[in-house]
A and B are shown apart, each in its own frame.
Chain A
Amino acid sequence: MTGPTQGREPAGMGPFDVPAGPPVPDAEPARRNGHRPASRLAPAGTPGDEVDTATDDPATPSDNPAGDEVDTATDEPASGGVAPTGGGAGDTGPTVPDRPGDQWDRRVANGLAFLRRRLAGDYEVDEFGFDPELTDAVFHPLLRLLYRDWFRTEVSGVEHVPVDGPALVVGNHSGTVALDALILSAALHDKHPAHRYLRLLGADLVFRMPVVSEIARKTGGTVACNPDAERLLGGGDLVGVFPEGFKGIGKLYADRYKLQRFGRGGFVSAALRTGTPIVPVAIVGGEEIYPMLADIKPLARLLKLPYFPVTPTFPWLGPLGMVPLPSKWLIQFCPPIPTAHLTDSADDPLVVFNLADQVRETIQQTLHSLLERRPDPFGP
Chain B
Amino acid sequence: MTPGSTSGAPGVVVVTGVGRYLGAHVAARLAADPRIERVIGVDAPEPGAEFTDLLDRVERIRVDPGSLGGLLADLDVDAVVHLALVSAPDQQHGGRSAMKDQNVIGTMQLLAACQRAPRLRKLVVRSSTAAYGVSFRDPAVFTEETEPREVPRGGFGRDILDVEGYVRGFRRRRADVTATVLRFAPFIGSTADTTLTRYFAQPFVPTVFGRDPRLQFLHFDDALEVLHRSIVEDHPGTYNVAGPGVLSLSQAIRRAGRVAVPVLEPGLSGAAALARTMGFGRYGLDQVDLFVHGRVVDTTRLEQEYGFTPRSTAAAFDDFIRAHHGGAVLSRGQLAAAEQLVLDGIRQVRAAVRERS
Contacts and interface: CB of A to CB of B under 8 A. Distances in A.
Interface in B330-357: 330, 332, 335-336, 338-340, 342-344, 346-348, 350-352, 354-355, 357
A69 B355 contact: yes
A364 interface: no
B34 interface: no
B91 interface: no
A295 interface: no
B332 A214 contact: no
Contacts of B342: 112
A219 to B, nearest CB: 13
A201 to B, nearest CB: 11
Given A54-B354, A108-B343, A119-B254, A126 B141 contact: no
A121 B354 contact: no
A115 B139 contact: no
A109 B342 CA distance: 9
Interface string B117-139: 00000000000000000001111
Interface in B242-285: 245-248, 250-255, 265
A372 interface: no
Given A121-B251, A210-B210, A227 B146 contact: yes
B332 A120 contact: yes
B42 interface: no
Contacts of A116: 335-336, 338-339
B248 A115 contact: no
A319 interface: no
Nearest to B135: A204
A127 B355 contact: no
B254 A120 contact: yes
Interface string A51-86: 110100000000000000110111110000000000
Interface-central residue, A127, A212, A214, by most chain B CB under 10 Å: A127
A225 B253 CA distance: 30
B177 interface: no
Nearest to B354: A72
A194 to B, nearest CB: 24
A260 to B, nearest CB: 21
Interface-central residue, A51, A105, A119, by most chain B CB under 10 Å: A119
A357 to B, nearest CB: 27
B347 A127 contact: no
B214 interface: yes
A222 interface: yes
B140 interface: yes
Given A69-B355, A94-B340, A128 B141 contact: yes
Contacts of A208: 136
A156 interface: no
B210 A213 contact: yes
A51 B356 CA distance: 12
B143 interface: yes
B212 interface: yes
Given A73-B351, A74-B351, A214-B211, A127 B346 contact: no
A125 B351 contact: no
A125 B339 contact: no
A52 B354 contact: yes
B209 interface: yes
A225 B137 contact: yes
A112 B136 contact: no
A115 B339 contact: yes
B241 to A, nearest CB: 16
A52 B296 CA distance: 52
Contacts of B208: 210
A207 B336 contact: no
Given A127-B214, A223-B137, A96 B355 contact: no
A265 to B, nearest CB: 19
Interface string A235-256: 0000000000000000000000
Contacts of B347: 75, 94-96, 105
A121 B255 contact: yes
8 contacts: A54-B351, A70-B355, A75-B348, A94-B347, A119-B330, A120-B254, A125-B214, A128-B214
Interface of A: 51-52, 54, 69-70, 72-76, 93-96, 104-105, 108-109, 112-113, 115-116, 118-123, 125-129, 131, 204, 207-214, 217-218, 222-223, 225, 227-228, 231
Of all A-B residue pairs in the complex, the 6 with the closest CB atoms, nearest first, are A210-B210, A121-B254, A121-B255, A211-B210, A227-B139, A121-B251
Given A121-B251, A121-B255, A122-B255, 11 more contacts: A73-B355, A95-B344, A96-B348, A120-B335, A123-B251, A127-B140, A128-B140, A128-B141, A210-B210, A212-B210, A223-B140
